[in-house]
A and B are shown apart, each in its own frame.
Chain A
Amino acid sequence: DAKTTQPTSMDCAEGRAANLPCNHSTISGNEYVYWYRQIHSQGPQYIIHGLKNNETNEMASLIITEDRKSSTLILPHATLRDTAVYYCIVEKGGTSYGKLTFGQGTILTVHP
């Protein structure tokens, strides 16, 4: 699986958009980009995933560059409850049986 690079930490003001970047320059054509988060050492929580196109759900938006070498997770209106570690993961899909390789992620702190 391709390696990902994320900033160690980021800050965001409550109510503002949080934009979390991820670099995955060695991604191959059949690899998906996933985002998970972990709050207070609870079990990781799925946020969103995509292959080529931008994706949006009730939690967030995922913007993938045209060359697929990087992506951005957008939390449109961050709240204090969004403070967590955010993991960007690249995964092969079928041939890897859904196995996820977690890096150290980005610690997002949302301030009042």
Chain B
Amino acid sequence: NAGVTQTPKFRILKIGQSMTLQCAQDMNHNYMYWYRQDPGMGLKLIYYSVGAGITDKGEVPNGYNVSRSTTEDFPLRLELAAPSQTSVYFCASSPVVNTEAFFGQGTRLTVV
């Protein structure tokens, strides 16, 4: 059982470049989330989705876009990378609310 899989694990981007962080889960969970974690801080919610075709902004959505065309996948898009987006990105999923969330192992992104 793979759980929540994030790719890539590491990436270095130049300012202004774009990229997509991939997230896939094989547990048929309806709810999926993207968080970012800056050094020494807790995680902050970027975007979330309650099902295929439905997404909404979290606390820090600026500079990011998401889509949810299938239950399994929830990619996060950075269009114009900025140094402020240097962070570790975590994807998570849960089957319903009031239960545990499952996190991926993270993507460490550096923008130079």
Contacts and interface: CB of A to CB of B under 8 A. Distances in A.
Interface residues of A, number: 21
Given A102-B35, A103-B42, A104-B40, 4 more contacts: A43-B4, A43-B90, A94-B98, A96-B97
Contact of B103 (A43, A96, A97, A104): A43
B25 to A, nearest CB: 12
Interface in A55-112: 87, 93-94, 96-105
Contacts, number: 65
Interface of B: 4, 31, 33, 35, 37, 40-45, 48, 50, 56, 58-59, 88, 90, 92, 94, 96-106
Contact of B90 (A44, A49, A98, A104): A44
Q: Is the interface of A mostly helix, strand, loop or mixed?
A: loop
Contacts of B41: 104
14 contacts: A32-B98, A42-B106, A43-B90, A44-B43, A49-B99, A93-B98, A97-B31, A98-B96, A98-B99, A99-B45, A100-B35, A101-B59, A102-B35, A102-B43
Contact of B101 (A98, A101, A104): A98
Interface of A: 32, 41-46, 49, 87, 93-94, 96-105
Contact of A105 (B42, B56, B94): B42
A104 to B, nearest CB: 5
A78 to B, nearest CB: 21
B44 A97 contact: no
Contact of B105 (A42, A87, A105): A42
A94 B42 CA distance: 23
Contacts of B43: 44, 100, 102
